[in-house]
Structure 1
């Protein structure tokens, strides 16, 4: 599926630039959000000693890409056989075009949220009309390594069918201490009171999200 001139979002793939702060968590399987039933035969949650791995990210998509907006997401590490995959369970943006395009093109369950603070450094927060989602203290680190390539595949439910989406990016990575405060009664409550295993910053990332021809396989 692709956008058309009458749609508010660009066609797949999207070329995006910016900075993100990523945290990785080990969460008991019983607390991990359930995947859509349509994915049951496509991917399984990757587990280790009764725990699953959850990735969260604050993302600042900056001018120079197809769109610029802010994003907060939570994703579960999954596997198709033994091939690693990522499945996004929660995601918020402050762009209607990003929300609509993410849902229509790749089955990414984007919702709208209000963001406050500075994504470059200091505190950032996200909330909806129902209340706060989370906040974090984001360090200003610019990444210390040479620019490195990363590729992975996202598997989502699109109209009741599993769809896989390739993601390719390069960035300068560096360790970061991201201090999270998660609303205990919010949609990310399964992370409330926990600490991430590790956090890092991906500075100056350049990302290609999606492909010109979307595949409904994993």
Structure 2
């Protein structure tokens, strides 16, 4: 297994890995109404369950916001998140995500309130999320943030990690576009707030070279 490498674009517009990201993370588990089809090279661990991840990074390598919808997956004994959808509000963050980690990042606008955010892209609203902190504090804990990506026909794996002060939270989906998988409930389970958090995202590693899809097939079915 070796670190992923890719030609550096002329006048590279994003920082090299590792990235250090400090700020607040809000997360919870949601369930899709219908089964999800995994990306090539991995299998799902929990069928329809997904992690909803909201980051607002204000310290470190870059200053940006991030919305992630990911499935729990594995390749052999190696677990990680399959990033199905991811939006950011920063061009270098987008380019770095694509070139360094093989993530399907897109641009969006984040309209932040005290305990809520509305995320929209060029096609309209994506989601509105509301959260409220709970009374259960779990202290400052390490949090693994391992994830898969694909680039140039290769399956990538990144062993990011964070350390944060973890507090339980109630996370609610107030608005949800039909461009995303339909959910069984607007209430996320296992909601939590990581504030403050500090994540380190190292270079990706190549796990495998994926077979070339045959004509008329797609890398991933469904949304």
Cα–Cα, structure 1 residues 4 and 172, in superposed 2: closer, same or farther, change >3 Å? Answer: farther
Deviation digits for residues 64-106 of structure 1 (CA, Å, limit 9, x no counterpart): x000111111000001224321110001010000000000001
Spell out the pairing of 1:60-209 with structure 2 (5 A cutoff). Answer: 60-63=56-59, 65-118=60-113, 121-139=114-132, 144-185=137-178, 187-191=179-183, 193-209=185-201
Separation of aligned partners in 2, 1:62 and 1:141: 23
Alignment root-mean-square deviation, CA: 2.3
Q: Is contact 2:160–2:199 with CA below 8 Å preserved after alignment?
A: yes
Q: Is the 8 A contact 2:127 2:177 kept in 1?
A: no
1:111, distance to aligned residue in structure 2 (A)? 0.2
2:205 is matched with 215
TM-superposed deviation, 1:192: 7.0
Q: Which residue of 2 aligns with 1:57?
A: 53
Determine which structure has the larger strand proportion and give its number. 2
TM-score, scaled to structure 2: 0.82
CA distance in 2, matches of 1:132, 1:92: 12
**Structure 1 residues without counterparts, runs of 5 or longer:** none
Aligned length: 203
Q: Secondary structure at the match of 1:191?
A: coil
Does 1:35 pair with 2:28?
no
Q: Deviations over 1:114-153 (max 9, x none)?
A: 11023xx322110112111000113367983321112242
Report SS of the residue matched to 2:138: coil
Change (3 A) 1:191 1:29: closer
* Contact 1:139-1:178 within 8 A present in 2 as well: yes
Q: TM-score, normalised by structure 1?
A: 0.84
Question: SS state of the match for residue 21, structure 1?
Answer: strand
Structure 1 stretches of 4+ moved >4 Å? 2-5, 140-143
Aligned partners of 1:140, 1:27: CA distance in 2, in Å? Answer: 24
1:28: how far off?
A: 4.7
Residue 45 of structure 2 is matched in structure 1 by 46
